[in-house]
Structure 1
């Protein structure tokens, strides 16, 4: 068997030499996991349980990724919030997605929790920042807390998200902001319908969010009294 040789994906701004002079506002200062001193607290607060290896470094719960280092704000779990906003019912349903300005794909609006922020607060804040929609007065259905197959994940740093469903009777105006290049309502009767609409528009659905959208559809099918989410 060939020896495991993951690729280091740490960007220059997170190299130890760079962190010694300037720490990006979105990142912690620790150049390696050895410089993190609150692992018990992070493990206790994690959305998805994780362990530490013999070096005391965090281990991605999903297993080897082929990538090492850190291209996220924190070592270990990086907690995110993903609000899935759906308007209408049945085959007339629509879902609100943004075009991410970093990788140019259609995705659920959302992002990382700020220090000390709750998931519910982050859901509202991220939605407002990226689409201009304020749902602070709405109570969402929490669909799950899961690992997300984010393109920045590594063996030592990864994303876990609280996904929540917001239901509206009809669409409301959305204006892209923050790190969203666009905000669009898409047909959401089924995942196939969503795929077709996005493909026909010459765009691509973010693969990592497909399981979250599928779960939302399954919940909606149960709530509306009929099955099938494809």
Structure 2
């Protein structure tokens, strides 16, 4: 499991009126900008994507995010794992119900119909709270992002958000709370993308996109995790 993915709203009090339609939401007093992040159990934020115009829900952010760019280009880290006796080639992220049924997402059930599913639902939703905790700690440490933003430009807000995330990770590392340690050389893709021709890169991207959006792999992974937890 690579981490938990979710989005956080940051209200933008001084959003220019001409942009209210792009950033406005009916359930928010002010326009909002979404932060998409991936956090692990030690609250380390591994991925952050912020500041897309018109990004008013998690799916819109995901479609513009850079999260799967390396995977689609065939240069993502090699991280196979085995679950319930079945080998899977890529890691996965814990996500909530709004995310699509992709091979890289493991979601919960709206209604659990058996004891196995009840156990899985409790474990998945409990582990996915890592990202919610990370958002809470981030806002608790930096008062500037816990209140509506008063800047006038997206670039300034993006710099503020990224700075807070970098400082958040630096604090974790300094306090020895960052628990993830790995050998970088063992996760490097064997064939750099720069050595491939344009046609090869297009073919790889097409193939990887099909693998990423494969609902069968999503269901297969979910079933095996349910059996693994039950055993």
TM-score by length of 2: 0.27
Higher helix share: 2
Q: Using CA pairs under 8 Å that are at least 6 residues apart, name the structure with larger relative contact order, 1 or 2.
A: 2
Greater fraction of residues in strand: 1
